[in-house]
C-alpha cells in the first residue's frame, strides 16, 4: 500500500485524503485526489491475505486502464524514466491536432494513460 500511495502522490501529484483499516475483510483502503479537490477520487485497496496479484495478458483484461491528464508530457515521462517506471507506449497522437497520449504502468502493473491537451 505504501508503495502505491507513494507512486500516486509523489509521481502523479495526488493528495492522500484518508487511509484506514477494514477489519471485516483484513484490508486497508486509501483515498487520493488531486490537490485542488476537483477531480475524481482514487481508491486503493490492499487485502492482507492476498498472496499474489497478477494482471491478465493485455488482450484478456476486462479492466483496461485508468487515465490522468498531465500538463507537460515530456516532463512527466522524464520523471518516470528517472524513477524506472515502465513506459509501455511512447507519446503519440490519434490524428492531427488530437491530444498527446502515452501509457505507463503503476507498481502493480495497472495500465495508466497520460493525456496532454494543448
Task: Render pLDDT for 73-93 as a digit per residue (tens, 0 to 9).
Answer: 999 999 999 999 999 999 999
**Residue 82: inside a domain, yes or no?**
yes
Angle at 36 between CA 109 and CA 40, to 5 degrees: 45
**Residue 57: inside a domain, yes or no?**
no
Pair 113, 68 in one domain: yes
pTM of the complete model: 0.83
**Residue 36: inside a domain, yes or no?**
yes
Angle at 79 between CA 34 and CA 2, to 5 degrees: 55
Instruction: Find out whether 32 and 42 touch, Cβ atoms under 8 Å.
Output: yes
> What pLDDT does 47 receive?
86
Count CB-CB contacts under 10 A for residue 30.
Answer: 20
- Our count of domains for the chain comes to 2
Residue in 28, 43, 113, 116 annotated catalytic: 113
Residue 113 known to be catalytic: yes
Domain that holds residue 67: 63-118
Count CB-CB contacts under 10 A for residue 71.
Answer: 10
Q: Which residue has the higher pLDDT, 2 or 50?
A: 2
Amino acid at each position: 500500500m505504501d508503495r502505491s500511495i507513494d507512486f500516486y502522490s509523489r509521481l502523479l501529484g495526488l493528495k492522500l485524503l484518508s487511509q484506514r483499516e477494514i477489519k471485516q475483510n483484513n484490508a486497508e483502503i486509501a483515498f487520493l485526489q488531486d490537490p485542488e479537490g476537483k477531480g475524481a477520487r482514487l481508491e486503493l485497496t490492499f487485502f492482507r491475505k492476498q498472496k499474489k496479484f497478477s494482471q491478465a495478458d493485455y488482450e484478456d483484461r476486462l479492466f483496461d486502464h485508468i487515465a490522468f491528464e498531465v500538463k507537460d508530457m515530456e516532463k512527466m515521462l522524464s520523471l518516470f524514466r528517472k524513477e524506472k517506471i515502465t513506459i509501455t507506449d511512447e507519446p503519440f497522437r490519434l490524428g492531427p491536432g488530437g491530444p498527446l497520449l502515452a501509457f505507463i504502468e503503476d507498481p502493480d502493473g495497472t495500465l495508466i494513460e497520460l493525456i496532454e491537451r494543448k
